[in-house]
Amino acid sequence: MMGHNPDVSRDGATRHRDRADGSQPGPGPDSVTVDLQATATAPRAARRALRQLDLPARVAEDGKLLVSELVTNSVRHAGLGPEDRIRLTAVWSNERLKVHVHSGRGSMPPPRVARRIRPPPEAESGWGLYLVERLASRWGTDPDGSWFELHHDQSGLG
């Protein structure tokens, strides 16, 4: 029987903690990379990974919401199976949180106008990218997945 690996959680997340400048971590890392199983537990594991960073409360709350949305989209829409992995990379610079969700399967280009991605008020789903559009300082997609940035002085609606 193999021993327990402290870097692999019960939800299948493999954690890597590093400081952005390459130095040894202090009280909290400047960056976190987590490999997630592409299952329904991935959003929860992604939120837990962000808690490893020493983020201001508003950035932490907005970041957890947005990372849940992007990871959920990868699980549901990127054509991944439960054996596939999603890599989450989060970097905190004391002013900006940048999160990249690498699904490895490509993604669709972001909508150009927020009102085009706003679902009807009665819709029970489809609000994820609208929330990303509203809360993120910047966001987008690339051939490997999607990303967002939250600036400390700009997080939150309105």
DSSP string, 18-49: E-TTSSPP-SS-SEEEEEEESSTTHHHHHHHH
In order of start, what are the domains of the chain with their CATH numbers?
Answer: 14-151 (3.30.565.10)
Q: What is the pLDDT of residues 4-34, one digit of tens each?
A: 344 545 555 554 544 444 444 444 569 999 9
In this predicted structure, the answer to whether residue 107 has a pLDDT above a threshold of 70 is no
DSSP string of 119-137, one letter each residue: PPTT-SS--HHHHHHHH-S
Written as six digits, the tokens of 70 are 């992007």
Average pLDDT over residues 56-62: 95
Confidence (pLDDT) at 27: 46
The more confidently predicted of residues 64 and 11 is: 64
The answer, yes or no, to whether residue 141 has pLDDT greater than 70, is yes
φ/ψ of residue 148, rounded to 5: -150, 160
Percent pLDDT > 70 in the chain is 65
> Is the predicted pLDDT of residue 116 greater than 70, yes or no?
no
Q: Tokens 């709350």 map to which residue?
A: 61
Question: What's the CA gap between 9 and 18, in Å, rounded?
Answer: 18
Q: Taking the model in full, what pTM does it have?
A: 0.73
Mean pLDDT (whole number) for 39-65: 95
User: What are the tens digits of pLDDT across the range 120-133?
Assistant: 667 666 667 888 88
